[in-house]
Structure 1
């Protein structure tokens, strides 16, 4: 553990000073977060719900599925931490389906519950699409931090063996999966999880005998467009984490992840509307959905 901590510190020092300060966690926490258009429950736990933001107009609307981060831990905020991005996209005609889920250290979370929640929330999207005027032919999966891991996993769960309790298909092929400072290779990143997130998280999220079922690097994505966005100044999930995922897919998958490094951006710039990094992320979403 001491060596992991030393590695994180060394990476932070190696990054050097920025021309513009990255968004810090406290500033991200203080962002105003409007209420969603509606909330949809897909289970009995309070965290088993979806925040839905709907644009004006008859639709059918293209959709961004957001999956929040927070170290896979119940000690952090849930899906409400992504609510500030709802109006950012609905005013551009894009609907938002923002998933909450049971975290690794809450009742029913970890393996398999956390992953089953993601699957159930995506199944609910398919079921509700006609009544909510949502276009399943134009969907992007996007996850921040721990949510990036879950978005990559969700797009790859169809490649699991049929006998796996987590096998399934979301009922649509996403136009793209966009990981925002997310983790694709749990095998290489797991040594840092106790340092960053606390003890016990990785053991409940990815037991040794189940790692091949829950690490996206061991699976095959259903979409040809996987975009790994990293802030160059991200001290929590540095750009090398995206490279690890791309390296793991090389030679065994037709999908070649696109690696995007955003200068002067930290971990939270990627999901902060006032930061230039978000303008770039929003552009990637609009391009994938063919929204002008």
Structure 2
């Protein structure tokens, strides 16, 4: 009888945990966000800056590069929205390089400015790594939501057409990319951008004649591995978005992106440390940093 009662209780707890509501935007916004160890400016605009979180100890430290989301829009928080992940990673000995950029509806943003900002902030990492004792043989580029499109683009910019004003010689090429509810195929997702983010964003971010230069699905990633993480309950960037990106790369890359669907997780669970989904994400980051 006691054994049956124990099984009933365990089952009830499991059902309750499995049916927990996803993290809402208001909860995500209310997370404490400490100041970074230092900030590095790479341009004149306030958003052209990088939050750097450094662990204790002499290093060299593995590094996670973060690119924030927020609908590519200046009406949402910038790199500040990722500051809560700084201490979460530094206490595990991992440095954080969290970049800001001019958004699509910000002066100088859109095409080509937003992409040039991301490229500059990443190349600045290569320049500053010795100063901060950062080990670029152990790095991962992680991004959330709209930042997913920018990170996948950054990992693929080596395949840009020669005539593109975005073409260049990247000084930093990430070893791995982890997309957290990110957008990879901008062509198929573009119809949803006005609904989710408001009018005018996608037109500034990806003009029709430039879509092939900025949609990651039209390019070829240079990163050794790409992981597309989706919350099964994500109502903003559903798992099918990751599948579209993977399908678009089929036959063009030696190793297809890995798809990871997290049960009972919504859009913000993937970047909320108290949510079970973050434990899965953190494990993926640590596994990637340990892989050589």
TM over 0.5: yes
User: How far apart, CA to CA, are the structure 2 residues paired with 1:286 and 1:252?
Assistant: 28
User: How far apart, CA to CA, are the structure 2 residues paired with 1:164 and 1:208?
Assistant: 14
Compute the displacement of 1:104 (Å).
Answer: 0.2
User: How far apart, CA to CA, are the structure 1 residues paired with 2:173 and 2:106?
Assistant: 30
Aligned to 2:126: 126
Aligned to 1:69: 69
Aligned to 2:41: 41
User: How far apart, CA to CA, are the structure 2 residues paired with 1:41 and 1:96?
Assistant: 15
Deviations 1:62-114 (A, max 9, x none): 11000000000000000000000000100111000000000000000000000
Contact 1:180 1:270 in 2 (8 A): yes
- RMSD of aligned alpha carbons: 1.0
Compute the displacement of 1:139 (Å).
Answer: 1.2
Aligned to 2:139: 139
User: How far apart, CA to CA, are the structure 2 residues paired with 1:67 and 1:165?
Assistant: 22
Contact 1:61 1:135 in 2 (8 A): yes
266-275 vs 250-259, which deviates more? 250-259
Aligned to 1:93: 93
Q: How is 1:164-203 mapped onto 2 (pairs within 5 angstroms)? A: 164-203=164-203
User: How far apart, CA to CA, are the structure 1 residues paired with 2:46 and 2:173?
Assistant: 28
Q: SS where residue 140 of structure 1 aligns?
A: strand
Aligned to 2:58: 58
Q: SS where residue 259 of structure 1 aligns?
A: strand
Q: How is 1:1-292 mapped onto 2 (pairs within 5 angstroms)? A: 19-290=19-290
Q: Whose radius of gyration is greater, 1 or 2?
A: 2
Contact 1:181 1:230 in 2 (8 A): yes
Compute the displacement of 1:165 (Å).
Answer: 1.1
TM-score (norm 1): 0.92
Compute the displacement of 1:171 (Å).
Answer: 2.3
Contact 2:70 2:78 in 1 (8 A): yes
User: How far apart, CA to CA, are the structure 2 residues paired with 1:254 and 1:150?
Assistant: 22
Contact 2:102 2:117 in 1 (8 A): yes
Aligned to 2:10: none
Compute the displacement of 1:213 (Å).
Answer: 0.2
Compute the displacement of 1:162 (Å).
Answer: 2.4
Segments of 5+ residues of structure 2 without an aligned counterpart are: 1-17
Compute the displacement of 1:224 (Å).
Answer: 2.7
Segments of 5+ residues of structure 1 without an aligned counterpart are: 1-17
User: How far apart, CA to CA, are the structure 2 residues paired with 1:206 and 1:251?
Assistant: 25
Compute the displacement of 1:169 (Å).
Answer: 4.3
Deviations 1:200-223 (A, max 9, x none): 000000000000000000000001
